[in-house]
Amino acid sequence: MKLATLKNGTRDGMLVVVSRDLTTYADAREIAPTLQAALDNWDTVRSKLSALAAKVEEDRVGVSPFDEADCESPLPRAYQWADGSAYINHVELVRKARGAEVPESFYTDPLMYQGGSDGFLPPHGTIPLADEAWGCDMEGEIAVITGDVPMGVSAEEAGKYIRLVMLCNDVSLRGLIPGELAKGFGFFQSKPPTAFSPLAVTPDELGAAWSNYLVHHPLCVDYNGEPFGRAEAGQDATFSLAQLVAHAAKTRPLGAGTIIGSGTVSNKDPDGSPGRPVKDGGRGYSCIAEIRMIETINTGEASTPFMRVGDTVRVEMFDEDGASIFGSIDQTVVSA
């Protein structure tokens, strides 16, 4: 099933079940008022939401036209958002650009940072930016929402606690990152609010494309209306989403509604090189930092600027029939 949260003037919005083709929705508040409430009581409400989804598909319930622009983030605010770095090509590129090695441990021990979860950007809307010098960037990612995960869960067991899958734009302020990481305590000011796709879908909606706890479709990132990234999310992942969940739960349980991100989706080129732009026949990039790194490696200098006021980014994923699975993240940078 596909779930969304519509804006209704409250902080947590209202839960709806959306048709698979994203054209209609049914109010789900009689089952659970909000997505967090549904996740808090998943074992009880899952079958009810699933039955409502079947009715929506079969036209056996009153529905309304669905508009992605009416959506909040599926969880407008969450109790936890932690973002991994599954696609090590991204990490290799960042390091290569500054002449640093990737430590061997990065291939066995995931990078993960604790993100702010007190408020997410709606999928269609603005990215407020107070200072263009902060170097605003998108990061196209896959994210999952978990149920209650016990402390110390194995990677083999962790996958069964994944309740829903989304897309993500982990907005980053590149200009603030070096100073912040140098302080040693990780990201804080360099990670303003994140955006997620309008739809959060159960893994079974992905069919065969959900395999080994990865989503096997290209992640489509358009920048200012042009194809920018088409990285295959099922390839080049050093860690699965289940492994990232297990990493997060090593020393503590995770509460229902925890969001775990994959990190920027990033592929190597088939020839092993770090990747070419989409217009040159490559799979492109899910963030501007990567193309800047390629430029730096190739010419000694980055030429593509970070996002400025008026720039737009769109993140979406399509199934084998060309249908949008999660709806789109569609944002414009505005002056805050």
Residues that bind a copy of itself (CB under 8 A): 11, 40, 77-80, 82, 103, 105-106, 109, 111-119, 128, 130, 134, 151-152, 173, 176, 181, 183-193, 247-248, 250-255, 257-258, 336
Residue 74 CB, shortest distance to a copy of itself, in Å, is 15
Residue 318 CB, shortest distance to a copy of itself, in Å, is 31
* Cα–Cα dist 86/266, whole Å: 9
Nearest alpha-carbon partner for 326 in 120, 86, 164: 164
Please identify, using beta-carbon distances, which residue of 62 and 152 lies nearer to a copy of itself: 152
Please identify, using beta-carbon distances, which residue of 24 and 34 lies nearer to a copy of itself: 34
Please identify, using beta-carbon distances, which residue of 19 and 114 lies nearer to a copy of itself: 114
Please identify, using beta-carbon distances, which residue of 24 and 258 lies nearer to a copy of itself: 258
* Cα–Cα dist 289/179, whole Å: 16
- Name 292's Cβ contacts closer than 8 Å, sequence gap at least 6: 97, 302, 303, 304
Residue 102 CB, shortest distance to a copy of itself, in Å, is 11
Return the ∠ at Cα 257 (arms to 177 and 217), rounded to 5°.
70
Please identify, using beta-carbon distances, which residue of 49 and 82 lies nearer to a copy of itself: 82
Are 83 and 141 in contact by the 8 Å Cβ rule? The answer is yes
Residue 7 CB, shortest distance to a copy of itself, in Å, is 16
Residue 247 CB, shortest distance to a copy of itself, in Å, is 8
Residue 150 CB, shortest distance to a copy of itself, in Å, is 10
Please identify, using beta-carbon distances, which residue of 4 and 75 lies nearer to a copy of itself: 75
- Name 36's Cβ contacts closer than 8 Å, sequence gap at least 6: 12, 75, 78, 79, 256, 257
Q: What are phi and psi of 243, to 5 degrees?
A: -65, -35
What residue type is assigned to position 2 of the chain? K
